[in-house]
Amino acid sequence: MTVDLVPVRGAAHGAAALCALLALWWAVERRRGAGRARAVLAGGVPDGRGDREWPEAAARWWAALRGRRAWLCLPASGAVALLGESPLPLVAGALAVPLVGRRLRAAGRRKEREARAERVVALCAAVVGELRAGWQPAQALSFAARETGALGEAEAPVLAAARFGGDVPEALRWAARQDGADGLAGMAACWQVAVDGGAGLAAGLDRLEAALRDHREQCDRLRAELAGAWATVTVLALLPAAGLALGAALGADPLQVLLHTPAGLGYLLVGGALEAAGLWWAARIVRGGERA
């Protein structure tokens, strides 16, 4: 048995070393590229003072790591591969990188959508405040848009329409196509009614702000109610790892059984499939409640 495990152990060690070398190479190349970019933008050669500022360097490294958190699956799976003396966990970690990356990107888009919705509410409140302070609608919209950043990529067309007498409602409706900026369609309707019928724009935007805030509070309450369900899903996801750790603490060798015996490999495949199906079904139930 020991002789048979030597090639497997060597392959696992070699794979872990290869991952470490790739990570080091990526870090060095990224740092060189950042240095070249700073030199080109500054019009000269960097003097190295920025590299000695550890807080800024740490912030840059943390930002780079947050953008590539999915790649942390490789060192984690490499550690399991070393403990289990098998390259199978490393292969599973490599396959998990795109899946985890997709989930992280979806979470990032959801946070950005919620942040943009909050900025739209702040935009309505700012425009109302400026209108009641005596500003003209175009001036109030321009000032509030620059202060809140709620228009995003559509800020330039909307402000140009407001400044030069263009079709502001149409520009706002076009800006509302951004993810999370649905409230801008209501602002476009209020602006259209104020222009065509002479109604008070401040009053309409005030009611729109109240409606958007009520909707946000309702979503927050629903998210708080579903926090327990998400916690249950997380606990279910961690139970297999807790079982393996408990078995190792009791003196057994579960990784040896799962990774080096035919029965263990079968249990691993069936258990992994059932775990994935259970997590998918539980997450689907919770997300169904969120959508409702």
For residues 180 and 115, is the Cβ–Cβ distance under 8 A? yes
- Residue spans per domain, the chain: 115-220, 226-292
- Tens digit of each residue's pLDDT (9 = 90 or more) over 21-73: 555 555 555 555 544 444 444 444 444 444 445 555 555 655 555 557 778 88
- Tens digit of each residue's pLDDT (9 = 90 or more) over 186-225: 999 988 888 776 668 888 898 999 999 998 888 888 888 8
Quote the pTM value: 0.66
Helix, strand, coil in percent for the chain, rounding step 5: 85, 0, 15
Gap between the Cα atoms of 105 and 107, Å rounded: 5
pLDDT band at 75 (very low <50, low <70, confident <90, very high): confident
pLDDT band at 270 (very low <50, low <70, confident <90, very high): very high
Dump the DSSP string for 26-80.
Answer: HHHHHHHHHHHHHHHHHTS---STGGG-HHHHHHHHHHHHHHTGGGGHHHHHHHH
